Structure 1
């Protein structure tokens, strides 16, 4: 796995505004995901976490994360928070001080993230979005239930995996309203696939981003939740997210 491997995990579960419900999973998800990504046997990433911080600290961390990277670096950005749309349908990521009436000045616009990725020299960027897309509940919303992640965040050299692309909850454990420390279904599946090695579908010893998506999709489908992860990719080469802790099979499972 040549080049640097860097990850930034942004998690916001506690909000100043009473209009944004508390999320139980983000902080714990970020910690558990950091553990598997940092593990030299698995992800071997350098990991930074930004937890429950205001928008200016999050935007600063995101800009710094994409700055001065090398072409062969692999960058992974994980966002776990509320996802909100303004009246024009533009996606924003909520932070600790987000005011739903002032999204442009108190949240992290998806367009801001897109610009940082576009200006980055790294050829391989993986973006993981674990958000509740509650845009249809905005005052004056136009009723468009689709979050146009492909339009706003996809691009050359990128992989985007989302917990959902509809106006529906990114489920946290068994019930959305519980506040106990339990991982979200999406990030929990990511963590388990990496930690166990089960996401290495062809058993070649490496977990590619497509394999990881397939594992997560099937786990959520089989769990029965009304949530279907989405994936967009435009890459020059296979992106290996992690090594597998399972022993590799000769020539991979699909060539036996």
Structure 2
């Protein structure tokens, strides 16, 4: 028996003919894939057996694919990787594009999936892995014939036999090129699964095709739930082909542990108890605090990206609803296309947002009518009260009609005074300061006002955070802040605005937020919450000692995000820089309450 070998052909196409957009990721996808496959501690492919093609023409692409499959023996493992545009025809047949491919001549200038399928059927290699990171890649399954496999004694080295195709999308979906990353989304998590060992589900030091697919699919859908990576096999074999070794070290062990203590829906650690457990294990494994926190952040990163996309959708949908409601069919279609093709969000996720925004808009429309009905009911109640008092006076002290008519203006004046007293119940005797709360009685904000009058900005900032948390009865986050009582929020804002001379307050911050086009980093720099020149960027957000609690602070510097983040001890957030979702929700609430 000849010695087995692993051979790989890696193709990345970024340049195309007329009608097809250029892509930035494929060349870098190929380079990254070569690095992990060619690493002797990971993929174990010999560099001599890895062929890289970047922007090949059609002939070069077909010849090299043919060589990969025809020059292999049955104990070999062959791997074909493609990153670029995928195109399907009206019969759902898939074509892999070359640099010659144009929109109207894709059949004659692309490699049809059937060409690869036929080579796969005829090759001697019993272990075949095809990875397609392209649009409509799930259509590869069309026309792929099953082929029987004879077992050979190589399972210990290469895993079980079979043919398997990993695809980044279904037969009807586009794939995603990320705007803020070098690699395409699917390839990023294929690489990560091998490189950091995260795909090794059973911690046996080996990543099988099944394990890599499971990991990449989970991570991709955490970012873009609407994207559906798939795995295609012939004869139900190929799942357990050994694709790579992994390093089982302190980092990989800790990363596996982190998965047990995080909430993938909310993008956060379950609780402070979970954080303490993870901190202990990090110390036992010898990981520095910064290193362990970086691992946690990388595990949470896909979910946090998805939450950002959800917030983007909410903001866009709210803006459209404010302009015209109900939305036209054209707008709804455009929003759906944007949701699926750009944000990659599932219909269920956006349906919840749509219901919340629509309900709020309908309540806003209904409010004037409700207010009118309330005023009518109150007037009717007052009229009945006057009539009842008239009847009571007649019974208790019979008087002449003339005498009673003299008392009638007095009764009406008494009722008017009572109504005025009810209307002014929330105002204080100290001028224009409203110190009341929707949920607490008395001068609830009196201490905050006194601290602001004394220009004790730091204490006032602390008092603001305490009162906001007390009003809601819990630690604030982006969901809770959307329910924050408008009365309390506006009263706090007015006090800050008044006693800072218009320098500090939520209204000031909202104006700056809008002027920064809701760019979190730009806003943080403008209000002096971060140092734009700091490296790495994750450490650019200032800690409490760097804040300016004096009149020298720049406009909008106060109040801080203390209500969401406790300096020195964060349960949910690692730094002020991670408060973007919470701050965006606060600004949205300020805008809604100010209408």
Superposition TM-score, scaled by structure 2 size: 0.37
- State the partner residue of 1:161: 166
**Secondary structure at the residue paired with 1:20?**
coil
Question: Which structure shows the higher strand fraction?
Answer: 1
Equivalent residues in 2 for 1:105-144, closer than 5 Å: 105-133=108-136
Aligned pair partner of 1:58 in 52, 57, 61: 61
- State the partner residue of 2:428: none
- The answer to whether the 8 A contact 2:14-2:25 is kept is yes
1:151 is aligned to 2:156:
no
**Secondary structure at the residue paired with 2:85?**
strand
1: CA distance between counterparts of 2:72 and 2:86?
A: 27
- The answer to whether the 8 A contact 1:16-1:98 is kept is yes
- State the partner residue of 1:94: 97
**Secondary structure at the residue paired with 1:84?**
strand
2: CA distance between counterparts of 1:209 and 1:147?
A: 16
2: CA distance between counterparts of 1:236 and 1:95?
A: 28
Q: Using the TM superposition, give the Cα deviation of residue 154 of structure 1 relative to its aligned residue in structure 2, in angstroms.
A: 6.4
- State the partner residue of 2:17: 16
1: CA distance between counterparts of 2:182 and 2:26?
A: 9
1:3 is aligned to 2:8:
no
- State the partner residue of 1:140: none
2: CA distance between counterparts of 1:236 and 1:191?
A: 20
1: CA distance between counterparts of 2:66 and 2:194?
A: 27
**Secondary structure at the residue paired with 1:207?**
strand
User: What CA RMSD, in Å, does the superposition of the two structures yield over aligned residues?
Assistant: 2.2
Aligned pair partner of 2:244 in 228, 242, 249: 242
Structure 1: stretches of 5+ with no match in the other structure:
134-145
Q: Using the TM superposition, give the Cα deviation of residue 238 of structure 1 relative to its aligned residue in structure 2, in angstroms.
A: 2.7
- State the partner residue of 2:176: 171
Q: Using the TM superposition, give the Cα deviation of residue 103 of structure 1 relative to its aligned residue in structure 2, in angstroms.
A: 2.7
Distance 1:11 1:185, change over 3 A: same
Q: Using the TM superposition, give the Cα deviation of residue 88 of structure 1 relative to its aligned residue in structure 2, in angstroms.
A: 2.9
- The answer to whether the 8 A contact 1:28-1:181 is kept is no
How many residue pairs align between the two structures? 231
2: CA distance between counterparts of 1:89 and 1:205?
A: 39
1: CA distance between counterparts of 2:23 and 2:52?
A: 17
- The answer to whether the 8 A contact 2:56-2:99 is kept is yes
**Secondary structure at the residue paired with 2:83?**
strand
Question: Which structure shows the higher helix fraction?
Answer: 2
1: CA distance between counterparts of 2:34 and 2:138?
A: 27
**Secondary structure at the residue paired with 2:134?**
strand
1: CA distance between counterparts of 2:133 and 2:145?
A: 16
2: CA distance between counterparts of 1:3 and 1:161?
A: 23
Distance 1:213 1:236, change over 3 A: closer
Superposition TM-score, scaled by structure 1 size: 0.84
1:96-134 per-position Cα deviation (integer Å, ceiling 9, x unaligned)? 00133223321101100111111110001001010023x
2: CA distance between counterparts of 1:237 and 1:16?
A: 37
2: CA distance between counterparts of 1:81 and 1:154?
A: 25
- State the partner residue of 1:136: none
- The answer to whether the 8 A contact 1:9-1:79 is kept is yes
- The answer to whether the 8 A contact 1:149-1:165 is kept is no
Q: Could you list the runs of 4 or more consecutive aligned residues of structure 1 that deviate by over 6 angstroms after TM superposition?
A: none
1:155-205 per-position Cα deviation (integer Å, ceiling 9, x unaligned)? 4431011000143331122x4xxxx76100101110111111111110001
Structure of greater relative contact order (alpha carbons < 8 Å, 6+ residues apart): 1
Distance 1:228 1:93, change over 3 A: same
1: CA distance between counterparts of 2:26 and 2:211?
A: 24
- The answer to whether the 8 A contact 2:133-2:186 is kept is yes
2: CA distance between counterparts of 1:237 and 1:72?
A: 17
- State the partner residue of 2:329: none
2: CA distance between counterparts of 1:117 and 1:236?
A: 13
Structure 2: stretches of 5+ with no match in the other structure:
148-161, 258-595
- State the partner residue of 2:80: 77
1:206-238 per-position Cα deviation (integer Å, ceiling 9, x unaligned)? 001100000001111112352110001232783
